[in-house]
Structure 1
Amino acid sequence: MSIIGDLALRSVVLESEGRRSRRETSGFSTMRRSRASREIIKVDVEDTAHVPFGTKHKDVVKVAVEMQGQTTQLVDLDQKESLEMIVEKLCEGWGVENSHYYSLSLVSHEGARGVYITEKNRYQIKNGSYLRVSTAPSKAARDIITRIKNRNRPMAEKKPVMQRLAQMSSDETFAVEFITSDGVTLLMDLVVSGVTTGENLGLVLAAFLALMDHGIVSWNSLNPRFVQRVASFVNKSTVAEAIIVQRALAILESIVLLSDAFCQVVSGQVSLQVLTEHFKSPAAEIQLNSVTLINALLIKATPAKAKEILDIINSRHVQGLILQGIIDGRRAVGAEMAHQLHVLQVLLFCCLDDRIQTELDPGDPEQLDKVRKLYALAFDRDLSAQGSALFAENKGAIRRSKVEYMENYKKLGFTNHTSPILDFEETPPGLLALDCMLYFAENHTESYNKLVFENSCRDDQYVCPFARCAIALTLLLCKMLQVGEPPLETGQDYHPMFFATPNAFEEVFCVCIQSLNKTWREMRAIHEDFDKVMDVCREQIGMALSHRPRSPTIFGTKLQDYSYHEIIRQIQDSRVSKLPLDGDVEPLCGLRKTITPGVVQLIKAHRLSHLVKGGLFQKFNKRRVKDKFWFCRLAPNFKAFHYGDAGEGTTPDIDQLSGKLDLADIKQLVTGKQCPHMKESRSQKDSVTPYAFSLLYYPDLSLDFVAPTKEMYDMWTDGISALLDQEMTSKTTKKEMEMLLSMEMRLALLDTEGLQLPSEPPPLPPEPDNYDFAVKL
């Protein structure tokens, strides 16, 4: 602190001490200073928390309180005293009457009014907090409604009122008062009547959405004309009305997800062609809300409607809009857009899941016909001739032909040569494997014929069984791409190539089956090596997917970079690096035990450093809050967590974070379904809980987190465990522990390279006869 700041602080202390003796009955130490010194008081209040302003008590906090047109007061606020009494005493200090018209609210570091202080959230008031006495929520709600209804003023002049309403609607205390005064109905009437236009309409829609997000009013209670009116806004895409389109899309998404009564109304009113055209919008929020609304429509759609939507999304035109307008657009894909693309990819895979779970009907002529097509495209035979030969009941006349067909089906790699359709009985992958095989044969006929011909020319023991490999490969791709799994609430993983071309999954299959055949050839594999080949194939696909290729063609190029020989080289290097340090050799065990504490401290320091840098977390209430984030970081002295609202991609400083949780107040770290916000959430999927954790603190409160990735979850839970002197148990820690131990032990054993380490320490030599040593100098 500067010398001037220190002198100012001392004057504050002396003046406050002098006034305390004159105001002991009120419990306040009031300080009146000029406007120019307000910032000094505001900053130094936190620094004076340790100064003995009188009797110190855990329920008394030192705060600064301001009011418009009044000087700031430095106050000892008793948390056991009622809020009404506190406001009354503050108003007395300023000489303000009608204290029941006012309430306390927190002030953000930017100077804006924060949430109203209530009995429910007054625990947020900490030493050094900056408060404001402002209009009570009930009076503010009545004033706003009165001004909106005032017909003597044109709607164009009511913009300041609309702005104030949009800002205050996110406060739950104000929202309750406004909704109780029938404010939501008033806003719907403004939209339906059409008297509100332009920017004012955008503010009305923003306020309406914020009010409804509190969950006080049911989405089923909306005015049907309001729903139709909002749905009509999405057809407008001019720059002047971009804010209206953005808010309308967000409202429609909530209606689809939360209103059974109006879900079908929105589905019928909104044109998917118009929605997808919004992907070209220069406004990132419109792009995001368009994708979000499409996801909501897909989630709530009937099977027939879902197929209609998926057909549009899978069209070449729409996929071009997604790839060029969003993924490769002028701006980087943000966290929320990445999540929505993750959800869209999962929903696109839903049509594949139906085929995966479809059980085989051996008598289904459609499935039998697909098997015949595979045969015909491979061996250039007439389908009708094959049908009469393989499936007719008159076996005597066709015995020779049937033997030939059985041999050829064996060459195609079917396990059941007499009835190959039975190879697809197992679910998963079910009939999806047959669909992928036929797609490869029909759309890549030359490659298909080449693959079949190549295997026909090999010795029987070296033949790559195409059908068996295709079925196993389909199942492998489904597992690696998590086909059929629900979307993760915090998931941001998606693959651009599935938005690059129609039938992307089938195209990826075509690339992989050719790579698998090549790997089989390079390994000189036989039938007994089938599982080994599939293991290598899994490694190849995983490494290629890690590059997030833009198209199946680029994916195929990446697969070629990870040939069988490259995979084996990496596996051997990994094994060789571990061999000398494995086993139960006593000297190595002793060395490992000696090095371990230092490695643990190194990992602990890294975790704490990560917490000091902080992290951005998605907001959750009863459900995931779209595009809303908060930031949390550990103080450099490791004594407290600081947290507060933040924008996407921002890294606020500690003094910009209004919340604070002292480490000494933390009782326990809980994870998964034990977290309070997961118990209260309407979405209690297993996919959410693994990344959730909470800090429980006095008395029955919690600071709740949902990490966006497994890596971030491990970092934070390990770091918090280290702060609480608990064991770090994540898989990331175990992996890093092994890596660092291996590195440290190798450095320690450099001088023993090439030597055989004994399993036991060498024996001690016998003692000498005497210790009378002579040393010749």
Structure 2
Amino acid sequence: MDMLDKLNVRRAVALLMNGVHGEELSKQLLEFQSLFVRQAYRRKRTQVSLHIPLHKSMLEEIWTSANLSEEDGKWRKIGFSTEAPKWEIQRVGYLGLENMHEFVKKDTEKYQKTILEQVNRPAERRCPFARTSIEVTELLCDYWDVSTGYTTSTSFQPLLLSFDKIHYITVKSFFRLWNEMEATVDDFPKVSALVRSQLKFALRDEATKQLYEFEKDMLEVEYKVIRDRQLKELELGDDLLSKTPVRNLRERLYTESYEFVKQQRRRSMSNKKWRFYRLSPNMKFLHYNDFTNKVLVREGVEELPERIDLSLVTDVMTGPSLTTTDSPSRRSFNNPNDLTFSLMSGPDTSLADFLASDFVQFSEWTDGLNMLFDKNIGSKDTAEFIHVLTEIGVKVKLLDLSGERVEIPQDVEVPNKLPVIGNGFYYDDPFS
């Protein structure tokens, strides 16, 4: 990622997202977007350590750039709650440290003035910079699904690729609203909820949103307008759904929903002569066999002697089936009735060709394979299915709480396993 950033790849991809492009390029742009979320998730999960020279130097630069005298409570002066900053920042990991460090580097003079202004205020009136930076990183991770590592978005999110710039602007917005609210330390969660509300508003129509438009929404919209909008949201219950325990619940349920759909999609793959496919228990091979009649295939792979080594698969290619005279460049992606796809090994070698009977089956098969290979979800139906499963799970858990207005427990228990469906599926072989 560091090398890609030096080459300005993110900026180039964001420009492509705002341009005119065909279906194949769109697919690749969404793949990059999905991988960016995965990479951000890994950085968020990477713990900050003073034994790592880069991490230590970044923390030291955050302190020295504040230009304060080193006295007792130095880390508290720049907005940490304790004198052990690495433990507080673990909530957002290395990603949070990067964002905080980038804020300091982007405008060191502004950073110094901000810290000095807060130090000169009464303790209860200070807006803690470090805590604010960490909170904003968490808000952005929640919004863009970085907290789960899997994005369900099937539309472009070019501002996601400017994560550090969005963080910088949002931190400034947090300080602005803090001042206009005349907030105290106890009001920190209220300011965070207000920033979350405005962030959601500012990132509407994100596919066509420019950075300067986002900045204008975050820094120039009047406090009263933001507050009135938030009150309307609270009436609809968004205050409940934005609580930290509920956010954690949603993350866990999303992961379980994704795994459930992943299992369901990959088990729904079978292909007349009658051909039956089944994924091996270790998920490294796709076993199959041809039958003259439709028969019951027992559990396991003993009756399926033929197999495809999935480590040889380089892509799941959609479009007309590959033959000895076809090449991927001749595939058409514009026909809505084209429900064929192939497991490719290299640019012009097909390991297996499939023809689905309808679009639902096509989505199940292709998404099941893409999820198996950790590639981007291809259909809006599957993305919406995961989203719906997650939201239903959250609402079911909250159903008996919202009406009584009781406190949300800090630890919400989630079932260890979701139901697993059967795997005895048969489909016609179009090539018999």
Category of TM-score, reference length = shorter chain: 0.5 to 0.7
Matches within 5 A, 1:614-693: 623=316, 625=318, 628=333, 631=336, 644-645=337-338, 677-678=364-365, 681-684=368-371
State whether structure 2 residue 96 is matched by structure 1 residue 433. yes
The one-letter amino acid of 1:707's match is D
* 1:539 alignment partner, one of 177, 184, 197: 197
Quick one: distance in 2 between partners of 1:660 and 1:506? 45
CA spacing shift, 1:677–1:514, aligned 2, 3 Å = closer
* Superposition deviation, residue 518 in structure 1: 1.0
Of the two structures, which has the highest relative contact order with CA contacts closer than 8 Å and spacing of 6 or more? 2
State whether structure 2 residue 130 is matched by structure 1 residue 472. no
Contact 1:519 1:563 in 2 (8 A): no
* 2:17 alignment partner, one of 327, 336, 345: 327
CA spacing shift, 1:339–1:522, aligned 2, 3 Å = farther
Quick one: distance in 2 between partners of 1:319 and 1:481? 16
The one-letter amino acid of 2:228's match is R
Count residues in correspondence.
285
State whether structure 2 residue 124 is matched by structure 1 residue 481. no
Quick one: distance in 2 between partners of 1:555 and 1:380? 33
Deviations 1:359-399 (A, max 9, x none): 23344454333222212111256xxxx6xxxxxxxxxxxxx
* Superposition deviation, residue 495 in structure 1: 2.2
CA spacing shift, 1:362–1:455, aligned 2, 3 Å = same
CA spacing shift, 1:314–1:565, aligned 2, 3 Å = farther
* 1:420 alignment partner, one of 85, 92, 96: 85
Quick one: distance in 1 between partners of 2:209 and 2:87? 36
CA spacing shift, 1:411–1:497, aligned 2, 3 Å = same
Structure 1 gap ranges (5+): 1-306, 387-403, 579-620, 632-643, 647-658, 662-670, 693-705, 715-729, 735-777
Contact 2:17 2:156 in 1 (8 A): no
Deviations 1:643-670 (A, max 9, x none): x449xxxxxxxxxxxx999xxxxxxxxx
Secondary structure of residue in 2 paired with 1:525? coil
Deviations 1:220-255 (A, max 9, x none): xxxxxxxxxxxxxxxxxxxxxxxxxxxxxxxxxxxx
Which residue is 2:225 aligned to? 566
Secondary structure of residue in 1 paired with 2:48? coil
Quick one: distance in 1 between partners of 2:197 and 2:212? 19
* Superposition deviation, residue 449 in structure 1: 1.7
Matches within 5 A, 1:708-747: 710=384
CA spacing shift, 1:629–1:431, aligned 2, 3 Å = same
Deviations 1:533-571 (A, max 9, x none): 211111111111113265544321121354442222123
Quick one: distance in 2 between partners of 1:574 and 1:429? 27
The one-letter amino acid of 1:450's match is K
Quick one: distance in 2 between partners of 1:352 and 1:442? 20
CA spacing shift, 1:686–1:438, aligned 2, 3 Å = same
Quick one: distance in 2 between partners of 1:688 and 1:322? 18
The one-letter amino acid of 1:710's match is E
* Superposition deviation, residue 527 in structure 1: 1.9
Quick one: distance in 2 between partners of 1:543 and 1:573? 13
* Superposition deviation, residue 683 in structure 1: 3.7
CA spacing shift, 1:471–1:679, aligned 2, 3 Å = same
* 2:31 alignment partner, one of 340, 343, 359: 343
* 1:355 alignment partner, one of 43, 54, 77: 43
* Superposition deviation, residue 491 in structure 1: 4.3
The one-letter amino acid of 1:682's match is L
Which residue is 1:492 aligned to? 154
Deviations 1:483-524 (A, max 9, x none): 265566x8422222455xxxx322221111111111111222
Q: CA RMSD in A?
A: 4.3
The one-letter amino acid of 2:36's match is L
Quick one: distance in 2 between partners of 1:367 and 1:519? 31
Contact 2:79 2:130 in 1 (8 A): yes
Secondary structure of residue in 2 paired with 1:494? coil
Matches within 5 A, 1:129-140: none
Sequence identity of aligned pairs in percent? Answer: 22
Which residue is 1:119 aligned to? none
Contact 1:359 1:430 in 2 (8 A): yes
Quick one: distance in 2 between partners of 1:686 and 1:319? 23
Secondary structure of residue in 2 paired with 1:379? coil
